Amino acid sequence: MQSLIEIKNLKHSYIDTDGNEIHALNGVSLDIYKGEFIAVIGANGSGKSTLARHLNALLLPTEGKCVVAGMDTADDKNLWNIRQHVGMVFQNPDNQIVAAIVEEDVAFGPENIGVPPAEIRTRVDNALAAVGMTEYAKHAPHLLSGGQKQRVAIAGVLALEPDCIVLDEPTAMLDPRGRIEIVNTVKKLNREKNITVVYITHYMEEAMQADRIIAMEHGVIKMHGRPEEIFTKVKELHALGLETPLAAQAAFDLRQKGIKLADGIISNEELTEELCR
């Protein structure tokens, strides 16, 4: 597999208001491959957002390297190009929506980078279709649900035609229905449009949808693997202050009580099937 993003021994320090150095990233090495869906989990303050902000050069390394599509983020002549390869979606959709009409909002990004008007129309239509918001093109964003607003924000990023989308807790402010809308939308973009996805979340049920998961603690990667590898390591997850998906926890508890179950159960469907057998 070909790497889209190469991170080598990445360190990031902030200086807080008292002048103290905060080591937010303490040597992260990670390759993110083209077309993969990677989830990043970790307790509050473990460095997830700091890592995310390096992926499109919103932050630059204190030490180490972050290379996006062959371009070093530390080289400022790459900035413009890197930002077109990697789009970011944040927690609060209200902060990301700038226009009074959905389609104008989605057009905002391409207009800013000088895409010709005729092509903007196509990009906006495609982006809205990809997130299932075509019928809301003429609506006012502030009247939409949280999940719909967040889908418009994703469409705005898509209209820039990035290879990779980084989402930093995109569902944190949404209700359960909105959360499902977003995860499904992101999964579809990954599967059908081969967009590389880096998805930061506190919801393990969302992380379970990824091809690969990394779990962070104190600015380093503590666990790394496929969802069924990560979520069956219940004790290690708890040590990182993380929950396990309900089914994975139930399977773990049943095994502790001496009930024999197949390996790698993490979803409700897998657990139901195994218990019925």
Ligand X SMILES: Nc1ncnc2c1ncn2[C@@H]1O[C@H](COP(=O)(O)OP(=O)(O)OP(=O)(O)O)[C@@H](O)[C@H]1O
Burial class (CB in 10 A: 0-12, 13-18, 19+), 74: middle
- From the list ligand X, Mg ion, none, which binds 239 (C-beta under 5 to 8 Å, kind-based)? none
- From the list ligand X, Mg ion, none, which binds 146 (C-beta under 5 to 8 Å, kind-based)? none
**Is 56:82 a contact under the CB 8 Å cutoff?**
yes
Instruction: State in angstroms the smallest separation of the CB of 12 from ligand X.
Output: 8
**Is 35:198 a contact under the CB 8 Å cutoff?**
no
- Across 63-203, the runs of DSSP E, i.e. the strands, are 63-68, 71-72, 86-89, 164-168, 196-200
Q: Please, what is the end-to-end C-alpha distance for the chain in angstroms?
A: 37
Instruction: State in angstroms the smallest separation of the CB of 51 from ligand X.
Output: 7
Instruction: State in angstroms the smallest separation of the CB of 153 from ligand X.
Output: 18
Instruction: State in angstroms the smallest separation of the CB of 91 from ligand X.
Output: 9
- Residue 18, interface with ligand X (CB under 6 A)? no
Write out the two tokens for 58: 């919103």
- From the list ligand X, Mg ion, none, which binds 152 (C-beta under 5 to 8 Å, kind-based)? none
CB under 6 A: which stretch of 41-49, 81-89, 140-148, 154-162 binds ligand X?
A: 41-49
CA distance 44 to 202: 9
3-state helix, strand, coil in the chain (%, to 5): 40, 25, 35
**Is 238:41 a contact under the CB 8 Å cutoff?**
no
Number of residues that bind ligand X (CB under 6 A): 12
- From the list Mg ion, ligand X, none, which binds 44 (C-beta under 5 to 8 Å, kind-based)? ligand X
Among 16, 135, 192, 263, binds ligand X (CB under 6 A): 16
- Residue 45, interface with ligand X (CB under 6 A)? yes
Rule CB under 6 A: which of 50-109 touch ligand X? 50
The contact set with ligand X (CB under 6 A) reads 14, 16, 22, 24, 42, 44-50
